[in-house]
């Protein structure tokens, strides 16, 4: 029996209050309105940003259904939807792509102005929610809300993928993989033959490694205190893996010695204040190379100092 144009009752993990556990609830998911898509979520990942929302580090209205890294199948579409149809495999996009705003038209950015990240409202584009629980509206999370068996997103926040794609794997494209891979290929624009340092070998860090390899980096030096991650890192493209605990000297000095003065590109994929501070000070970046440093997931209320004048005079970028 078709569920199109009907309210769907399903299970979802609802965050009723900040710093409280999720509650598995039966929720009602309304049909999609014009230019909206309702998706059956098949596979979902858990990202650090979801935890940031739980703790309040990342602002989001509550109650809310979190989750933003997922893949699923289109269940139904609203009036005017042309890019996907029922049955299509898709990935929800927490950064939409309207294709019309000045940011979408700028080749140097993809941070569409219609996102719900910079000033979170917890709704879809029309300012309302499609979720109800216990008779009360429940907020969306950055336009996707994938900790639910069904969700509704705006058409500009969904990407159709190959029908043969294994959803349990490609769900990582929704955030972790694209974040890491894109930071190397699209943001830093790693160059062929370059030397890269990657701090942190979680899912995003490993994706950075893959991006550096795809971009043609000659050396990809990874840094992590968990040696159990080294085999996978090398399988994905790391040329060297080092553990700071194996050295008596600061890791920036180790990297300088390993690379004849410093690396070309560095990526901090941990969110630790000490490593962020080291990278922001360019303590192991080669002083006369147009280098780039990419940071992820700053700790809450972190303050950084940066020798900006010195860095700019040497052609460094951050």
Please pick, among 49, 145, 148, 194, the residue that the annotation labels catalytic. 49
Active site residue 194: no
Q: Per DSSP, what are the bridge partners of residue 317? A: 292
Please pick, among 68, 139, 140, 282, the residue that the annotation labels catalytic. 68
Please pick, among 52, 104, 133, 165, the residue that the annotation labels catalytic. 52
**How would you classify the pairing of strands 64-65 and 69-77?**
unpaired
Active site residue 49: yes
Q: State the Cα–Cα distance between residues 312 and 56, nearest whole angstrom.
A: 35
Please pick, among 35, 47, 171, 291, the residue that the annotation labels catalytic. 47
Neighbours of 210 (CB within 10 A): 20
Active site residue 52: yes
Please pick, among 112, 171, 175, 241, the residue that the annotation labels catalytic. 175
DSSP assignment of the chain, as one string? Answer: ---TTS-EEEEEEEE-STTS--EEEEEEEPPP-TTEEEEEEEEEE--HHHHHHHHTSS---SSEE---EEEEEEEEE-TT--S--TT-EEEE-SS---S-STTTT-TT----TT-SSSS--SS-TTS--SEEETTEEEB-STTT--SBSEEEEEGGGEEE--TT--HHHHGGGGTHHHHHHHIIIIIS-PPTT-EEEEE--SHHHHHHHHHHHHTT-SEEEEE-S-GGGHHHHHHHT-SEEE-GGG-SS-HHHHHHHHTTS-BSEEEE-S--HHHHHHHHTTTTB-TTS--EEEE-SPPTT------HHHHHHTT-B-
Q: Identify the CA nearest to 220 among candidates 211, 232, 209, 231.
A: 209
In terms of C-beta density within 10 A (0-12 exposed, 13-18 middle, 19 or more buried), how is residue 73 classed? middle
Task: Show which residues are catalytic.
Answer: 47, 49, 52, 68, 175
């Amino acid at each position: 029996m078709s569920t199109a144009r009907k309210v769907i009752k399903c299970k979802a993990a609802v965050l009723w209050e900040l710093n409280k556990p999720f509650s598995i609830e039966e929720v009602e998911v309304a049909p999609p309105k014009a230019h909206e898509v309702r998706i059956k979520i098949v596979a979902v990942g858990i990202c650090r940003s979801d935890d940031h929302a739980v703790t309040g580090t990342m602002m989001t209205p509550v109650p809310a259904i979190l989750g933003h890294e997922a893949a699923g199948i289109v269940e139904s579409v609203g009036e005017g939807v042309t890019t996907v149809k029922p049955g299509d495999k898709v990935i929800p996009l927490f950064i939409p792509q309207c294709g019309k705003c000045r940011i979408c038209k700028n080749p140097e950015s993809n941070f569409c102005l219609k996102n719900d990240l910079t000033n979170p409202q917890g709704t879809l584009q029309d300012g309302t929610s499609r979720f109800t629980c216990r008779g009360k509206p429940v907020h969306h999370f950055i336009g996707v809300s994938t900790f639910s068996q069904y969700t509704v997103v705006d058409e500009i926040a969904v990407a159709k993928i190959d029908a043969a794609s294994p959803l349990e794997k490609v769900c990582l494209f929704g955030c972790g993989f694209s974040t890491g891979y894109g930071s190397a290929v699209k943001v830093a624009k790693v160059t062929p033959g370059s030397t890269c340092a990657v701090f942190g070998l979680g899912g995003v860090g490993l994706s950075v490694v893959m991006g550096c390899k795809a971009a043609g980096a000659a050396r990809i030096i990874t840094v992590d205190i968990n040696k159990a991650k080294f085999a996978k890192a090398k399988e994905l493209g790391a040329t060297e893996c080092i553990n700071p605990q194996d050295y008596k000297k600061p890791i920036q000095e180790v990297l300088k010695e390993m690379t004849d003065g410093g690396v070309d590109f560095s990526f901090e994929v941990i969110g630790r204040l000490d490593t962020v501070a080291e990278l922001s000070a360019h303590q192991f970046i080669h002083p006369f190379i147009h280098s780039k440093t990419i940071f992820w997931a700053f700790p809450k209320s972190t303050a950084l100092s940066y020798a900006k004048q010195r860095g700019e005079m040497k052609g460094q970028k951050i």
